[in-house]
């Protein structure tokens, strides 16, 4: 059984090595190739595909009876002709009259041409850890290198000849002033044929826009219109490329549940449609997102699509609501909402029994809006891990310290199981002389050795597999902490102490340039550079792991001894690429385990031979030399 335990550990280690190769060698190389291909593509942009209109050459989503098959501005017959040369973002913004957007979290503007929300920057978030670096730009206008915007409007019934506002319509503002949480803005447009369109746009102090569209009919006949909303993104954005993180088109659409389409997946599908009630849909990045949040009772024809024009693909999420008939002398309304900002857990919300966070999910009664943050299949572990970290962060004001406190809390929760495991390991150490004597008595009879060994285990009440328990307990904790550090924006650029300015990034120091004393980047060395990464915290983690292993009884088999001797070295190099917060957790957990295991060994009457084992390790090296 002892041999089996060590074999299992060796298999687990081999699996981790393979995963490390996939994460840090294979995937980055694929990403570099993809980025190189994208860099060669011309920066061109297509026209927006209106809801209900399929990309060129593909069927559209099946419309409801009476719904127009191609509402709004039609797709260009020649997508290549629709592409226009790009200009700088500043020039694109200056090309149209605008209304400023000013909140504590957002800055930007709304284009009066098309009434698009197409210029947003997140003022609380920067591109790098440098507080003077530019803020994160979320939306960009049509005409810039990477257009990304939200648009709202009306679509006429099939065959109807009604003049409606589109992306070329220039609206006028009623009143004046910027859009702020205290000052909604109202836009107006008259089609000159009896229809007057008004749009009131409001914003809260976070990331939610509320859009109310009114249509007044002073004409000679009733008019049937369909409200729509869309989010359009031109060009394939850079993605992290990890399977544990979804980036792309996303939505929770009634009985269809969670729908996630990566950019490559929707490129293949071209267009997918859903009929749903109580849904939302949008586009998500790792930390940022935009999402359409229609009324919970609205009947939606929702769609994800990808439309190729020239060398650039437009990705779009949109929905079409049921028809509204505007009677003569009457007015109809349509309500829409837009989330555009950072995926903060307290803003988006977390659904979890007894300990969730409300956010927009609960405030607006949305359908699983918390899934905008990719908690993964093991959400029942990752969500409580984040909630615990968030609680301690608001208590102490530092996520690094919160990680240390959560580690202590986890140790306390698993204390009975860990104590039992360490007690078994202590007994294993105590019977090592008996096991060695047994092998000397039966050097060639493996069956007899196993029989007498099991008898000793039974007599001493030892479970030889119990030594695996501490490692098995660490696996879900390790994964959940890694997931939280990787996907939550709260960990982005969260500092610890000293040189750690971002717990979600790897330790920036490197042993191979003497921690910055040598002005050279060893990772730039061809072929070997990827492996020449070893920060200070990974070294600390490696030493604590080595100390912990020196507490354990040494395997009698030379091969097993070699595996255990090299395991701390391999883990040290592997974790050098992982987020610093995860490495700090592992080092702190190892230190607590050493203290806990030493205490249990002393309580069981087993001598703690940590320093003796360390001395013997160095003395062996001297003798070998």
DSSP letter string, 491-508: GTT---STT---TTS---
> Residue 522 gets which letter from DSSP?
G
Angstrom distances, CA of residue 221 to CA of 150, 193, 194, 213, 328: 31, 11, 9, 20, 6
Closest CA to 489 of 392, 401, 399, 402: 399
Point out which residues pair with 280 in neighbouring strands. 252
Closest CA to 200 of 80, 82, 99: 99
Average pLDDT (597-612) is: 69
CB 338 within 8 Å of CB 291: yes
Read off the tokens for 258. Answer: 């969670």
Give the residue, 602 or 319, on which the prediction is more confident. 319
> Residue 76 gets which letter from DSSP?
P
Q: Return d(Cα 15, Cα 24) in angstroms, integer.
A: 14
Residue 371 has pLDDT above 80, yes or no: yes
Q: Return d(Cα 326, Cα 331) in angstroms, integer.
A: 6
- Paired sense of beta strands 223-234 and 148-156, if any: antiparallel
Read off the tokens for 519. Answer: 């002005």
pLDDT per residue over 218-262, tens digit each?
998 999 999 999 999 999 998 887 778 999 999 999 999 999 999
3-state SS, residue 312: strand
Which domains are assigned to the chain? 89-374 (2.70.98.90), 395-618 (no CATH)
Helices (H), 171-301: 263-269
Q: Return d(Cα 577, Cα 521) in angstroms, integer.
A: 15
Across all residues in the chain, what is the average pLDDT?
82
Read off the tokens for 475. Answer: 């696996």
Average pLDDT (154-172) is: 91
Read off the tokens for 488. Answer: 């939550």
Read off the tokens for 566. Answer: 């090299």
Whether this model's pTM surpasses 0.85? no
* Contacts (Cβ under 8 Å, ≥6 apart) of 529: 522, 523
In 178-222, DSSP assigns E strands to 185-190, 195-203, 208-217
DSSP letter string, 24-63: IIIHHHHHHHHHHHHHHS--EEPPPPPTTPPPTTSPPPPP
Percentage with pLDDT > 90 across the chain: 52
Give the residue, 414 or 380, on which the prediction is more confident. 380
pLDDT category, 43, cuts 50, 70, 90? very low
Closest CA to 66 of 377, 406, 301, 337: 301
**How many Cα atoms sit within 13 Å of 131 on the Cβ side?**
4
Q: Name the one residue in this structure whose structure tokens are 């809390």.
A: 409
Buried-exposed string 578-589: b where 16+ CB fall within 10 A, e elsewhere: bbbbbbbbbbbb
Closest CA to 361 of 252, 434, 286: 252
Average pLDDT (107-132) is: 95
Read off the tokens for 145. Answer: 């290198």
CB 350 within 8 Å of CB 341: no
Residue 616 pLDDT? 59
| Cβ atoms within 10 Å of 200's Cβ, excluding its own | 16
Helix (H) or strand (E) holding 342: strand 331-342
Residue 46 has pLDDT above 50, yes or no: no
3-state SS, residue 314: strand
pLDDT per residue over 417-474, tens digit each?
777 776 776 677 677 777 777 777 777 777 777 777 777 777 777 666 655 666 677 7
* Contacts (Cβ under 8 Å, ≥6 apart) of 7: none
For the chain, the first-to-last Cα distance in angstroms comes to 35
């Amino acid at each position: 059984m002892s041999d089996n335990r060590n074999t299992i550990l060796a298999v687990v280690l081999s699996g981790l090595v393979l995963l490390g190769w996939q994460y840090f060698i294979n995937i980055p190389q694929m990403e570099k190739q993809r980025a190189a291909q994208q860099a060669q593509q011309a920066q061109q942009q297509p026209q927006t595909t209106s809801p209900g209109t399929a990309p060129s050459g593909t069927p559209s989503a099946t419309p409801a009876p009476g719904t127009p098959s191609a509402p709004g501005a039609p797709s260009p017959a020649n997508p290549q002709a629709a592409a226009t040369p790009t200009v700088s973002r500043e020039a694109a913004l200056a090309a149209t009259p605008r209304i400023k957007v000013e909140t504590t979290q957002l800055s930007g503007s709304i284009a009066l041409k098309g009434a698009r929300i197409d210029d947003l920057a997140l003022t609380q978030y920067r591109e790098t850890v440098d507080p003077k670096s530019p803020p994160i730009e979320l939306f960009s206008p049509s005409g810039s290198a990477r257009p990304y915007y939200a648009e709202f409007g009306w679509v006429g019934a099939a065959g109807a000849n009604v003049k409606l506002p589109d992306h070329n319509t220039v609206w006028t503002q009623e009143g004046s002033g910027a859009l702020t949480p205290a000052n909604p803005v109202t836009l107006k447009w008259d089609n000159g044929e009896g229809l007057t369109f008004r749009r009131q746009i409001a914003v809260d102090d976070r990331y939610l826009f509320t859009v109310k569209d009114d249509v007044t009919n002073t004409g000679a006949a009733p008019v049937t219109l369909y409200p729509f909303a869309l989010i359009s993104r031109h060009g394939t954005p850079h993605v992290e490329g990890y399977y544990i993180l979804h980036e792309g088109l996303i939505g929770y659409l009634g009985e269809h549940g969670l729908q996630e389409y990566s950019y490559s997946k929707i490129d293949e599908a071209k267009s997918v449609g859903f009929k749903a009630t109580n849904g939302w849909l949008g586009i998500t990045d790792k930390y940022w997102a935009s999402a359409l949040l229609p009324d919970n009772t609205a009947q939606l024809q929702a769609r994800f699509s990808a439309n190729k024009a020239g060398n650039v693909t437009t990705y779009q999420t949109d929905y079409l609501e049921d028809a509204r008939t505007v009677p003569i002398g009457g007015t109809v309304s349509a309500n829409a909402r837009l989330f555009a900002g950072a995926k903060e857990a307290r803003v988006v919300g977390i659904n979890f029994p007894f300990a969730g966070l409300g956010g927009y999910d609960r405030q607006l009664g949305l359908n699983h809006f918390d899934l905008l943050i990719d908690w993964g299949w093991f959400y029942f572990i990752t969500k409580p891990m984040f909630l615990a970290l968030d609680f301690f962060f608001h208590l102490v004001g530092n996520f690094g310290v919160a990680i240390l406190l959560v580690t202590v809390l986890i140790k306390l929760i698993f204390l009975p199981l860990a104590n039992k495991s360490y007690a078994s390991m202590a007994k294993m150490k105590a019977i090592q002389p008996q096991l060695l004597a047994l092998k000397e008595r039966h050097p060639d009879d493996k069956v007899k050795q196993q029989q007498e060994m099991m008898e000793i285990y039974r007599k001493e009440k030892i479970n030889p597999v119990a030594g695996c328990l501490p490692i098995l307990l660490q696996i879900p904790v390790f994964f959940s902490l890694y997931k939280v550090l990787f996907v939550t924006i709260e960990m982005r650029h969260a500092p610890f102490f000293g040189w750690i300015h971002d717990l979600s990034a790897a330790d920036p120091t490197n042993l191979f340039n003497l921690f910055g004393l040598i002005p050279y980047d060893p990772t730039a060395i061809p072929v070997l550079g990827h492996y020449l990464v070893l920060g200070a915290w990974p070294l600390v983690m490696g030493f604590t792991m080595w100390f912990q292993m020196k507490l354990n009884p040494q395997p009698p088999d030379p091969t097993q001894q070699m595996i255990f001797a090299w395991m701390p070295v391999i883990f040290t190099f592997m974790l050098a690429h992982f987020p610093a917060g995860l490495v700090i957790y592992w080092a702190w957990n190892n230190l607590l385990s050493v203290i806990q295991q030493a205490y249990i060994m002393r309580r069981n009457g087993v001598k703690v031979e940590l320093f003796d084992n360390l001395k013997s390790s160095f003395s062996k090296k001297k003798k070998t030399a």
